Chains A and B, each alone.
Chain A
Amino acid sequence: MGVTPTETMTVAAARMLRNGTVCFVGIGLPSAAANLARLTHAPDVVLIYESGPIGAKPSVLPLSIGDGELAVTADTVVSTPEIFRYWLQGGRIDVGFLGAAQIDRFANINTTVIGDYDRPKVRLPGAGGAPEIAGSAGEVLIVLKHDRKAFVDTLSFITSVGHLDGGDARARAKLPGKGPTAVITDLGILTPDPVTRELTLTSLHPGATVEQAMAATGWPLRVAPQVAVTPAPEPHELEALRALIRRTEEAHGKAA
């Protein structure tokens, strides 16, 4: 069976987490990647979910942010105010791992509305924990699929802060964390330019092309002079990911 772009994305995102990292995990793609890291190269990664579990070790991926599986496998479960006050705001989080509906060239995130705020074309779920995760986590990783609907020139709404309008804007705004350090997509990896902070294509997944990435981006995408090729998923990584997805589907019913 060939490797799908989503599998390559998830494996590439998982590899970004070092063993022992304390990671505040969003639901969906970030949760899949963070748990894959835990099940492969980073057994001591600490996964914190905003519903309260600290050190969650789920055997199947949670469908919701507060699944019982997270609570029963955690080192401890604290209240939601404590999660945001002591653990996130208190500076205990190394990496915030987020998804996004839309993103711009400075990795600012929209999960609120498409169109006018008061008369939206599309009403999205809203902020959740992301604005403060984006502000206060030591650094932020973002994982999302690469297409023109998601990678837009101008966001209708900035829900959660990336690098604002670039340069040293985060430092001037006195944001505690470093902000987004990588955006992992199903085509490649984008990292902020060290000076301008504009997202730059620095790695392409096997089989993907620069032209594909540019066509899937709603602004003139900057491309690094030397674009690396993301190492293909190793057999043990794929095996762990597929087993995790299989266990999850069995637990939640195939339709999930």
Chain B
Amino acid sequence: MAEIMSLREAIGTFVRDGDHLAAEGFTHLIPFAAGHELIRQGKRDLTVYRMTPDIIYDQLIGMGCVRKMVFSWGGNPGVGSLHRFRDSIERDWPHRIEIEERSHADMANAYVAGASGLPFAILRGYVGSDLPKHSDRIRFIACPFTGEELAAVPAIKLDVAIIHAQQADRRGNVLLWGILGVQKEAVMAASRAVITVEEIVDELRPAPNACVLPRWVVSAVCHEPGGAFPSYAQGYYERDNRFYLAWDPIARTRETFLAWMQRHVLDTASFAEFRRVHATTAREAA
């Protein structure tokens, strides 16, 4: 049952070292505030899942929080590479993370299977691709009715899902809209769910088919206005494209990365404080 609490308390209570964790978002509603809190609390040995790992996963990898990443597209959208991810894979810094690489269709189906309580997902996929050669978790089975060969992939089962949403009510029911990616599926595939929100309102006003996560599938709701910055929250603020561009040179070297993380994340107590520090440093850089 959802409790409304601080993000620090929620991450401290519901995320453990070694967890299988997804901080999902498909370029919209990326849970940056929660990602920073994972780093501040020094979480370790996480197996992280994400269809589109971006800057926040780059930060988690560079800060040594990640043991393994399961993903289907890793990049800085519209800009280029994730330099911390590449440094880990190409040069073992700060250590070499294990990777399990999939396609989007695979991961989307695997989340649905996890949310559905099934052990695996099937899809018509991967034919002719080398990806199955590098994973023993992409296999092929025959349809029992037609004999058609289909790909089978294990369901994604998570200890904890972390997402950002637009609104919650005071009882902890959550409403999100716009591009939803696999956020609902991630929450339903997880034992625990931590959800940061833009706003806590007296009453949600969802249309009948809106995406509502009822309080009894949510562990914690945390009020973090702006918590998806520098990504966007439909109806609240737009994507800060300059941040994504500015991240590229910061992440290129270990020194600039560590200095940035120290000043902006480790030396700040909250996402609100991060935003104030970042506003200053971004002005200085401009």
Flag if A125 contacts B81 (CB, 8 Å): yes
Contact of B77 among A64, A72, A126 (CB under 8 A): A64
In the complex, chain B residues whose CB is within 8 Å of the CB of A174? 127, 148-149
Interface residue total, chain B, C-beta cutoff 8 A = 53
Q: In the complex where A63-B77, A80-B51, A81-B112 touch, is A127 in contact with B104 (Cβ < 8 A)? A: yes
Q: Which of A52, A70, A80, A123 contacts B89 (CB 8 A)?
A: A123
Assess the A132–B125 pair: CB atoms within 8 A: yes
Interface positions, chain B 162-188, Cβ under 8 Å from A, are 178-182, 184-185
B191: interface (CB < 8 Å): no
Kindly state the separation between the CA atoms of A86 and B265 in the bound complex, as whole angstroms: 41
Measured between alpha carbons, how far is A88 from B105 in the docked complex, in Å?
9
Q: Is A3 an interface residue when CB atoms closer than 8 A count as contact?
A: no
Determine whether A50 belongs to the interface, using a CB cutoff of 8 Å to chain B: yes
Please name the residue on chain B nearest to A159 by beta carbon.
Answer: B129
Q: Is the interface of B mostly helix, strand, loop or mixed?
A: loop
Q: In the bound complex, do residue B78 and residue A131 qualify as a contact, i.e. CB atoms below 8 Å apart?
A: no
Q: Are B111 and A81 in contact (CB under 8 A)?
A: yes
Instruction: Give complex CA distance A126, B224 in Å.
Output: 32
Query: Across the two chains, which residue of chain B brings its CB closest to A255?
Result: B245
Which residues A93-137 have CB closer than 8 A to chain B? 108, 112, 117, 119-121, 123, 125-132, 134-136
Residue of B nearest to A65 (CB): B27
Q: Which of A88, A119, A253 contacts B241 (CB 8 A)?
A: A253
A173 on interface, CB distance cutoff 8 Å: yes
Write out the residue numbers on chain A whose beta carbons fall within 8 Å of the beta carbon of B102: 127
Contact B78 A120 (CB under 8 A): no
Decide: B27 and A66 in contact? CB cutoff 8 A.
yes
Task: Answer whether residue B18 sits at the interface, using C-beta atoms and an 8 A cutoff.
Answer: no
- A145-165, CB under 8 A of B: which get 1 and which 0? 000000000000111111010
When A123-B85, A252-B241 are in contact, do A129 and B104 touch as well, CB less than 8 Å? Answer: yes
Judging by beta carbons under 8 Å apart, are B109 and A129 in contact?
Answer: no
Shortest CB-to-CB span from B7 to chain A, Å, is: 23
Q: Which residues of B contact A70 (CB under 8 A)?
A: 179
Q: How far is the CB of A98 from chain B (nearest CB, A)?
A: 13
Q: Size of chain A's interface in residues, with CB distance under 8 A?
A: 58
Across the interface, A71 reaches (CB within 8 A) one of B78, B179, B182, B241, namely B179
B274 at the interface (CB under 8 A from A): no
Q: In the complex, what's the smallest C-beta–C-beta distance from B76 to chain A, in angstroms?
A: 9
B271 contacts chain A at the CB level, 8 A cutoff: no
Within 8 A of B (CB), among A53-80: 53, 62-68, 70-72, 77, 79-80
Kindly supply a per-residue 1/0 record for chain A positions 239-256, scoring 1 wherever the CB is within 8 Å of any chain B CB and 0 otherwise.
000000000000011011
Asked whether A80 lies within 8 Å of B128 as measured between CB atoms, the reply is no
Q: Contact between B181 and A255 (Cβ–Cβ < 8 Å)?
A: no
Residue contact B127 to A68, C-beta cutoff 8 Å: no
Question: In the complex, A85→B260 CA distance in Å?
Answer: 41
User: In the docked arrangement, what's the CA distance between A131 and B153, Å?
Assistant: 15
Do A50 and B27 touch (CB < 8 A)? Answer: no
Given contacts A112-B101, A125-B81, contact A80 B178 (CB under 8 A): no
Interface residues of B in 117-132 (CB under 8 A from A): 123-131
List B contacts of A158 (CB < 8 A). 128-130
22 chain-A/chain-B pairs, Cβ below 8 angstroms: A27-B78, A64-B27, A64-B77, A71-B178, A71-B179, A79-B185, A81-B109, A81-B185, A112-B101, A125-B75, A126-B75, A127-B129, A128-B72, A129-B103, A131-B129, A132-B126, A157-B130, A158-B128, A161-B129, A174-B127, A175-B128, A256-B241
- Using a CB–CB cutoff of 8 Å, the interface residues on chain B facing chain A are 26-28, 51-52, 71-75, 77-78, 81, 85-86, 89-90, 101-105, 108-109, 111-112, 123-131, 134, 148-149, 178-182, 184-185, 232, 234, 238-239, 241-242, 244-245
16 further contact pairs, Cβ within 8 A, besides A66-B28, A81-B108: A51-B179, A63-B239, A64-B27, A64-B239, A66-B27, A68-B238, A71-B28, A79-B180, A81-B112, A85-B123, A127-B102, A128-B52, A161-B127, A174-B149, A252-B241, A253-B245
- Which residues of A approach B to under 8 Å, CB–CB? 27, 50-53, 62-68, 70-72, 77, 79-81, 83-85, 88-89, 108, 112, 117, 119-121, 123, 125-132, 134-136, 157-162, 164, 170, 173-176, 252-253, 255-256
